[in-house]
Chain A
Amino acid sequence: MVVPQAFYDCLAICGRLEKSVGNVAHGEFHLFAYLACLLSLYRKKLAADWGYGFSGTREGAPYSMDINTAIDYLILLGLIEEKENYFTLTDKGREEYASLLQFLTHQEREEFIDGACSSSLVLPMGLIREALYQEPELRHVKKLKSSRILLDELQVSLIHEHFAALSNAIGIEVKDLIVPSVVWLKYLFQTREVESHPDEFTSQH
């Protein structure tokens, strides 16, 4: 079974990253889907409503089984094609994306996918990856050196604290999520060497 939201997110991520960086690596589907999910939490949505879940790998990278399945289906249906481990949309894939965009369930996700992927317009991909690995949950998983389910109740409350500080730092109600996305990623990147507490964010901003 394909999870519709994961299927749609992969198409949307592929289409956007293709425009900004040319193509998409397998891990980048997971990375940007996770970043988009975090941005939905920033907008006070529930993690349970995202449609699919994530786990953190031993290396501290986000991973979703449903994203993986979706990528397989996209290949099977000829909607994305692979060249040397990088993916691009096919013409059929572009048509499918436009067709799926008519559904409200998908339209609601555009804001978050766009906020996540737009960060690749202003930040290098390496920085984004490094930064997101510093996200409190993923950093915690990496320290444990074992995989864990992400975004459980306790972890979500921690992320909300982070976002509350971020929201205060930005100061105004932002319409476009690219602003909190980039500010947060930059902040995370700055803290990559510091293995201490997330409270630093508040004190720095």
Chain B
Amino acid sequence: MAKILSKIKFPRIHQIKLTNFSLYSSSPVISIKIPDGVFCLTGANGLGKSTLLSAIHFGLTGIVPHSGEKFLSVEEYYSDNLDFSRNFFNGRITEDDHDLADISLSITIGNFKYELTRGMFEPKELRYLKIEDSLEKENIFDSESSKMSPEMVHNEYVKNIVLHTGLESFSQMVFLYSFIFTFDERRHLLFWDQKVCEQALHLAFGIDPAEAQRADLLRREMERAGSLARNANWDATQVRNQINDLKRNINETLKGEDPRDIRQKYDKLIEEEENKDREVERIELEVKDAMLKLSELSAKEANLRVSYNDEFNNKLKKQYRLKLHPLIVSSRNDGKCGLCGSTGEKSVKEILDLENATSCPICKSVIAETKEDPKIIEKLKKTDEDLVKTRKESEMVLKTIARLNSELDKAKAEANKAREKINEFENANKKALSDLNKKRSSGEDIDAVLEKYRLQMEEYLEKKRKYYEKRDEKQKALNRVQKELEKQYFSAEGSFVPLFKDLAFEFLGLDLDVKLALKGSGINLTLEVKGKARRQYHQLSESQRFFVDIALRMALAQYISDSDSKASLFIDTPEGSLDVAYESRAGDMFAKFIMKGFDILMTANINSSRMIRTLAEKCGKKKMEICRMTSWAELSEVQVAEEKLFEQVYAEIEKALNSKGK
């Protein structure tokens, strides 16, 4: 008899605040209230919609999902992704804002209210954290009164999140948000990634999250044991080859005193050095790029200065009036010609007439009075803005170069250290080899050397056997957990599968089915359309795959969530290349999920997609809010020129939102 699964409580996000987030250059502080239902962030291409979802993800977990990171285990995914996440906002946030930029979130998990602030480059630190129990009216934690370091505050957050969600570890929360509740530009699909799917199933249908963690560990241990067994086998083969070589060329020089140890140690040192060198190369490339950028900006600034000077002088030229010339002024005041000294009424009259002259009395150039041309001012203003902007960009790049140079010095020192280690090792190895050769040339202990190799080979073979035993043992343990999961799944199938079928039908209009498949390598979910398994990629169109996978995530979210604290989905521009009928159906599917009391934070391009309009019609203003990003960052010239088109689309969405209930 399967045990009853305890549900998991998930954070509900109520408020987001971004400070000094330079990507959104027009708005240094962005504060957003997240309503119930759909929060849809819209904006033209390139404004940073996806980055906002990444920032929220980072605020919540300290991690930004990384498409290049291969999933090995829940724990490793979290720890291996920290460096990527730490650097993710480089380039999106300027040097000036590097230490200032942060994200604040206000979330609730059941009756626990969290307020937290995380620096955009601090995945394992929190600048602020306050946790309250709103039921007991009790203050659980407040970083301001705790005097803890930001790392300790983060640890406090992790501890409480695990406690309040009911998960076994914070890594599980990272996993769930990275792979189940987020559908982003990675376009990662659960149905077609067995390892990820299996872990998701353990978390969703296992007896408790500790079992999921156990399965995760067992799988990794099993894989490691298999890998170590293969290594030991390889080592044994190497030693066997050594013995054969030694036998064949008994009089030749022995290569290496202890082939396995030397090879492993030496390879490790070489790998270390290569890693350090790669780091130096990476930073050098970054410096080179920054220098190139600086020279481009300097050239641009110099050109702009010349233009500014020309335009400024052009402006002054238009202001020139002959009557203001000091010579005319003094001639008029003194009543005599300032050039030749002639006096008298006639001379003075001639000079006064000159005041209205339209050409220069000396070179005859036209100097007709003209009013200041607003176009000249406009042009000057534009050049002026570009000039100041370019100079600021240069200052920023200079700061980046200074930072990179300091990083480069450190990286070079580390690379030198790694090289020294190799030299030391090579020297030490030479000595060992020389000792062995001495023994061999004096005819001493050849049999002993051979015996030593034989023993070593046996040792490796024994290791191989033990590792395979260990692998099989872990495999058996994993199979037991998987069997248990299978039982749990079967008991849950009756309530879970309809959730999925319902959503998927809404989208595809076909009767889909999902089944658990236990294979030698693990557990997976298979999809059946009209009774035929569609495990292979090519059997569904790309866009169909996206939405069927989203349906699976929604079903999992519904199944796994505690009714008091439901999971929210993060969906980044999902439309793909659906035709208009499927777009509309995708909107229906999302609406269905929302009507069950779940939330979606999504982004969408401003286009003629039916999906958003259908969703708006179904949800209405009570359950959907459109947030326009246009005021956050500068629009491109094309976007400014086509603003009317955006307005039309917004008007259509607005109309759809208002149509609910009419």
A3, A77, A96, A104: the one contacting B388 at CB < 8 Å is A104
Question: In whole angstroms, what is the CA distance A100 to B309 when docked?
Answer: 14
Give every chain B residue within 8 A of A173 (Cβ-Cβ): none
Give every chain B residue within 8 A of A29 (Cβ-Cβ): none
**At the interface, yes or no: A76 with Cβ under 8 Å from chain B?**
yes
**At the interface, yes or no: B319 with Cβ under 8 Å from chain A?**
yes
Question: In whole angstroms, what is the CA distance A173 to B644 when docked?
Answer: 47
Give every chain A residue within 8 A of B312 (Cβ-Cβ): 2, 4, 7
Give every chain B residue within 8 A of A99 (Cβ-Cβ): 377
Binds A, one of B379-387, B448-456, B623-631: B379-387
Q: Tell whether, in the assembled complex, residue A78 and residue B316 are in contact, meaning their CB atoms are under 8 Å apart.
A: no
B313, B325, B326, B377: the one contacting A2 at CB < 8 Å is B313
Give every chain B residue within 8 A of A105 (Cβ-Cβ): 308, 384, 387-388
Give every chain A residue within 8 A of B384 (Cβ-Cβ): 103-105
A4, A73, A76, A78: the one contacting B308 at CB < 8 Å is A4
Given contacts A4-B309, A78-B324, A103-B381, contact A108 B316 (CB under 8 A): no
Q: Tell whether, in the assembled complex, residue B313 and residue A1 are in contact, meaning their CB atoms are under 8 Å apart.
A: yes
**At the interface, yes or no: B465 with Cβ under 8 Å from chain A?**
no
**At the interface, yes or no: A49 with Cβ under 8 Å from chain B?**
yes
**At the interface, yes or no: A156 with Cβ under 8 Å from chain B?**
no
Q: Tell whether, in the assembled complex, residue A49 and residue B381 are in contact, meaning their CB atoms are under 8 Å apart.
A: no
| Minimum C-beta distance from A42 to chain B (A) | 16
Give every chain A residue within 8 A of B380 (Cβ-Cβ): 103
**At the interface, yes or no: B66 with Cβ under 8 Å from chain A?**
no
A-B contact pairs, 23 of them (CB 8 A): A1-B309, A2-B312, A2-B316, A3-B309, A4-B312, A4-B313, A49-B391, A73-B316, A76-B324, A76-B326, A77-B316, A77-B319, A77-B320, A77-B321, A77-B324, A78-B324, A102-B381, A103-B380, A104-B384, A104-B385, A105-B384, A105-B388, A108-B388
Most buried by A among B316, B320, B387, B391: B316
Question: In whole angstroms, what is the CA distance A48 to B484 when docked?
Answer: 74
In the complex, per-residue mask of A51-94: 1 if CB is within 8 Å of any chain B CB, else 0? 00000000000000000000001011110000000000000000
Question: In whole angstroms, what is the CA distance A4 to B308 when docked?
Answer: 8
Question: B residues 314-345 with Cβ under 8 Å of A?
Answer: 316, 319-321, 324-326
Chain A interface bracket (under 10, 10 to 19, 20 to 34, 35 or more): 10 to 19
Total interface residues in chain B, CB < 8 Å: 19
| Minimum C-beta distance from B379 to chain A (A) | 12
Question: In whole angstroms, what is the CA distance A171 to B321 when docked?
Answer: 51
Question: In whole angstroms, what is the CA distance A75 to B325 when docked?
Answer: 8
Question: A residues 14-66 with Cβ under 8 Å of B?
Answer: 49
Question: B residues 363-421 with Cβ under 8 Å of A?
Answer: 377, 380-381, 384-385, 387-388, 391
Residue of A nearest to B320 (CB): A77
Give every chain A residue within 8 A of B385 (Cβ-Cβ): 104
In the complex, per-residue mask of B32-54: 1 if CB is within 8 Å of any chain A CB, else 0? 00000000000000000000000
| Minimum C-beta distance from A189 to chain B (A) | 34
Question: In whole angstroms, what is the CA distance A105 to B383 when docked?
Answer: 10
| Minimum C-beta distance from A46 to chain B (A) | 9
The 8 closest A-B pairs by CB, nearest first: A4-B312, A78-B324, A104-B388, A103-B384, A105-B384, A77-B319, A104-B384, A1-B313
| Minimum C-beta distance from A191 to chain B (A) | 33
Give every chain B residue within 8 A of A102 (Cβ-Cβ): 381
A-B contact count (CB 8 A): 41
Most buried by A among B313, B381, B387: B313
Question: In whole angstroms, what is the CA distance A4 to B309 when docked?
Answer: 6
Question: In whole angstroms, what is the CA distance A67 to B591 when docked?
Answer: 69
Beyond A1-B313, A2-B313, A76-B324, list 14 extra A-B contacts (CB 8 Å): A1-B309, A7-B312, A73-B316, A76-B325, A76-B326, A77-B319, A77-B321, A78-B321, A78-B324, A99-B377, A103-B381, A103-B384, A104-B384, A104-B388
Residue of A nearest to B311 (CB): A4
Question: In whole angstroms, what is the CA distance A104 to B381 when docked?
Answer: 8
Most buried by A among B312, B380, B381, B388: B312
Question: In whole angstroms, what is the CA distance A78 to B322 when docked?
Answer: 10
Residue of A nearest to B301 (CB): A49
Give every chain B residue within 8 A of A78 (Cβ-Cβ): 321, 324
Question: In whole angstroms, what is the CA distance A104 to B384 when docked?
Answer: 6
Give every chain B residue within 8 A of A2 (Cβ-Cβ): 312-313, 316
Residue of A nearest to B304 (CB): A105
Give every chain A residue within 8 A of B321 (Cβ-Cβ): 77-78
Residue of A nearest to B385 (CB): A104
Most buried by A among B320, B324, B326, B377: B324
Question: In whole angstroms, what is the CA distance A104 to B385 when docked?
Answer: 6
Question: In whole angstroms, what is the CA distance A76 to B317 when docked?
Answer: 11
Residue of B nearest to A104 (CB): B388
Question: In whole angstroms, what is the CA distance A22 to B311 when docked?
Answer: 33
Give every chain B residue within 8 A of A108 (Cβ-Cβ): 388
Question: In whole angstroms, what is the CA distance A2 to B312 when docked?
Answer: 8
Give every chain B residue within 8 A of A49 (Cβ-Cβ): 391
In the complex, per-residue mask of A178-199: 1 if CB is within 8 Å of any chain B CB, else 0? 0000000000000000000000
In the complex, per-residue mask of A104-143: 1 if CB is within 8 Å of any chain B CB, else 0? 1100100000000000000000000000000000000000
| Minimum C-beta distance from B256 to chain A (A) | 58
Give every chain A residue within 8 A of B387 (Cβ-Cβ): 104-105
| Minimum C-beta distance from B299 to chain A (A) | 15
Question: In whole angstroms, what is the CA distance A76 to B309 when docked?
Answer: 18
Question: In whole angstroms, what is the CA distance A96 to B315 when docked?
Answer: 11
Give every chain A residue within 8 A of B316 (Cβ-Cβ): 2, 7, 73, 77
Give every chain B residue within 8 A of A77 (Cβ-Cβ): 316, 319-321, 324
Residue of B nearest to A78 (CB): B324
Give every chain B residue within 8 A of A104 (Cβ-Cβ): 384-385, 387-388
Question: In whole angstroms, what is the CA distance A75 to B319 when docked?
Answer: 12
Question: In whole angstroms, what is the CA distance A75 to B384 when docked?
Answer: 25
Question: In whole angstroms, what is the CA distance A104 to B309 when docked?
Answer: 14
| Minimum C-beta distance from B13 to chain A (A) | 37
Question: In whole angstroms, what is the CA distance A39 to B501 when docked?
Answer: 72
| Minimum C-beta distance from A102 to chain B (A) | 7
Give every chain A residue within 8 A of B377 (Cβ-Cβ): 99
| Minimum C-beta distance from B325 to chain A (A) | 6
Question: In whole angstroms, what is the CA distance A73 to B385 when docked?
Answer: 25
Residue of A nearest to B323 (CB): A78
| Minimum C-beta distance from A51 to chain B (A) | 8
| Minimum C-beta distance from B587 to chain A (A) | 46
Question: In whole angstroms, what is the CA distance A105 to B390 when docked?
Answer: 12
| Minimum C-beta distance from B303 to chain A (A) | 15
| Minimum C-beta distance from A87 to chain B (A) | 13
| Minimum C-beta distance from B305 to chain A (A) | 8
Give every chain A residue within 8 A of B325 (Cβ-Cβ): 76
| Minimum C-beta distance from B312 to chain A (A) | 4
Q: Tell whether, in the assembled complex, residue B309 and residue A75 are in contact, meaning their CB atoms are under 8 Å apart.
A: no
| Minimum C-beta distance from A129 to chain B (A) | 27
| Minimum C-beta distance from B298 to chain A (A) | 11
Give every chain B residue within 8 A of A4 (Cβ-Cβ): 308-309, 312-313
Give every chain A residue within 8 A of B319 (Cβ-Cβ): 77, 96
Give every chain A residue within 8 A of B381 (Cβ-Cβ): 102-103
Give every chain B residue within 8 A of A76 (Cβ-Cβ): 320, 324-326
Question: In whole angstroms, what is the CA distance A96 to B321 when docked?
Answer: 15
Residue of B nearest to A81 (CB): B329
Most buried by B among A49, A77, A102, A103: A103
Question: In whole angstroms, what is the CA distance A105 to B313 when docked?
Answer: 15
| Minimum C-beta distance from A204 to chain B (A) | 33
Give every chain B residue within 8 A of A7 (Cβ-Cβ): 312, 316
Question: In whole angstroms, what is the CA distance A103 to B382 when docked?
Answer: 9
Give every chain B residue within 8 A of A96 (Cβ-Cβ): 319
Question: In whole angstroms, what is the CA distance A73 to B316 when docked?
Answer: 9
